[in-house]
Amino acid sequence: MNYNRQRKNSSTLTIHVMCAIVFVLFSLAWLYFFQSDVMAMTQYELSGGLTHYNSALGAIIITVLLYLLQLVVYAVTRLKKRSHALTYVPSMMILAMLTDVSQQIAADGDIDHQLSWWVVVLVALVWVGLVFVARLFQQVEDDDSYSLVSPAMWINMLTMCLLMMGVAWLGNTNAVFHYRMKTEALIAEGEYEKALEVGKESLESDNHLMMLRMYALARTNGLGEHLFEYPISATSSEMLPTNGKVRMMLCPADSLYRFLGARPGEKMEPERYLLMLLRRDSVPRRTIGDYLLCGYLIDKDIDRFAQEVGKYYVVDDSLPKHYKEALTLYIHQRANPLFVSHFTVTEEDFDNFREMEQEYPIASERKGKIGEHYRGTYWYYYKYE
């Protein structure tokens, strides 16, 4: 009986098991915790909205398939010892390609990948070369030890770490894109309050995310109260998907149009669409008014806001927070304002705001200090963003 052969197979099995554990844990975590929203968007778009991605089931199925691919690669290459981790390169490459959806192209409505085909070909050629060299080296490699602390084990673990770093580098890790996908998925499920918590502490945003947050705020009657607590990264022309500048992906835009009262018959600017809706009887006038008023505030057109706010609200202390802030600013900046202030508490806050501005003559320092206390108010947005 060949005891040396049995001992060698047993020892290399430790390397195989450790590499498999590392791959399976990484793949499941990557797909379930970090990329489930991207995978959901990809499946939804590719299926035309007919199917929906299940995060747990999808992560398990993809991981199993990729591990089976690794077994096939191992059966062909027979790489053991120090180079066994190379058998995971094809599986890791596919894992990276599944999650490298381009944010900009996806925003335009098509599924595309950032990874160029020639990069894939180059990686494949390099991998084939490494496999060839590894097989030659494997024939003369020392078989003494493949324990958990052996050099061979650490070489394989280092290779696995490099492969995982490659997947993370190639995959879509853009925070705003992930906020957007998660927010939209929650909106599609009717979880508007939860959607508004996604990325709330982050100062990063884009026009699509702003549009989604405005929709969620409108659903919870919070546009005038909470809009400027989030970063504003676009103009009023991008607060609705009516002109094609922004779009909804996981949640059909028809749900938004049904909420507002009608679907636009053609591409048009949001303001025109909203004004046309106001001609109809069966529309939520207060919600449409909030969209229009917030649009004026986003564009920093406080004069137009002051002219229009009385059409939808009684101008008193019951106004939403941002509307009171905007009117207070307007009253203090205009020689002949349309209103006299009725907002005692807001007036006191605004006086404190202006006093703090005078305390810091250096612009950069002033912005930072004001931001610590007044970020999330319309005053901060109007003057510093």
Determine the pLDDT at residue 40: 85
Identify which of 296, 255, 273 has the alpha carbon closest to the alpha carbon of residue 378: 296
Determine the pLDDT at residue 3: 44
CA pair distance 141, 326, nearest whole angstrom: 75
Residue type, 354: R
CA pair distance 262, 264, nearest whole angstrom: 6
CA pair distance 32, 29, nearest whole angstrom: 5
pTM of the model: 0.86
Whether 227 contacts 217, CB under 8 Å: yes
Determine the pLDDT at residue 376: 96
Whether 288 contacts 275, CB under 8 Å: no
Determine the pLDDT at residue 142: 62
Backbone angles phi, psi at 101, to 5 degrees: -55, 135
Where do we find the tokens 């001609």?
Answer: 279
CA pair distance 239, 208, nearest whole angstrom: 8
Whether 87 contacts 69, CB under 8 Å: no
Identify which of 33, 23, 37 has the alpha carbon closest to the alpha carbon of residue 66: 23
Residues of the chain with pLDDT below 70 are: 1-11, 48-49, 102-116, 141-149
* CA 98 to centroid of chain Cα atoms: 16
Distance in angstroms between the alpha carbons of the first and the last residue of the chain:
79
